[in-house]
Amino acid sequence: MERLIRFLDRKFSRREQAGLAAAVAVIFLFILIKIIFTPVVNKKYRMKESLSAKETELKEMIALKTEYDTLKRNSELSERSFLKRDSSFTLFSFLDNLAGSAGVKENISYMKPTTTKKPGSERKKSTVEMKIQGITLNQLTIYLHGIETSKNMIFVKRLSISKKGKQDGFITVVLQAETFES
């Protein structure tokens, strides 16, 4: 400390004074940049990044809200369709009647109905697995169209098509249809 005081008490030449002034100015400028400007610039950059991230989150939230609204609307429509369905409706009888009108009833090898109920739910999921042998692709198309376009909210869950033997144009189909029943 004493050395510093002696050094500062000494008289400096003009050249030394200019060098000291330049050194002090550089140190002052360095401190000014490090303490004031750099944090301000970094904070501004962080704020821009944060704003960009928040905008992305907002866009995702809007997309999720739109998807939620669509799902909710579809759920309400399904619920209304479900309530309009005849109370005596059964999937098995519907598929059997449709097979008659599509001209494939004689080709049905088997129909296996199953019903499951999830705990805490008031509805049962009804599933029918059926095998239809020796039908044409056109007959299958008519039958599937009748299932999918019915107002009874029936869905084909699984479909397996195989060629039947050496007969041209005839196929064997195993399909699983399901719906919910009250």
Q: Looking at residue 61, what is its pLDDT?
A: 96
Q: Looking at residue 136, what is its pLDDT?
A: 87
Report pTM: 0.59
Query: Is pLDDT larger for residue 48 or for residue 9?
Result: 48
How much is the average pLDDT of 137-153? Answer: 88
For 26, the domain range is: 1-84
| CA distance between the termini of the chain | 94
Task: Assess whether 107 and 175 both reside in one domain.
Answer: yes
Is residue 25 predicted with pLDDT exceeding 80?
Answer: yes
Task: Assess whether 118 and 51 both reside in one domain.
Answer: no
Q: Which of 84, 114, 129 is the last residue of a domain?
A: 84
Q: Looking at residue 80, what is its pLDDT?
A: 80
Task: Assess whether 68 and 13 both reside in one domain.
Answer: yes
Taking CA atoms, 146 is separated from 21, 87, 109, in Å, by: 94, 20, 19
Q: Which residues contact 134 (CB under 8 A, 6 or more apart)?
A: 107, 164, 167, 170, 171, 172
Task: Assess whether 167 and 104 both reside in one domain.
Answer: yes
Calculate helix-pair angle for 137-148, 91-102, nearest 10 degrees.
140
Ramachandran assignment for 165, one of left (phi > 0), alpha (psi -120 to 50 degrees), beta (any other)? left
Confidence band for 1, pLDDT divided at 50, 70 and 90? low
Q: Which of 84, 114, 135 is the last residue of a domain?
A: 84
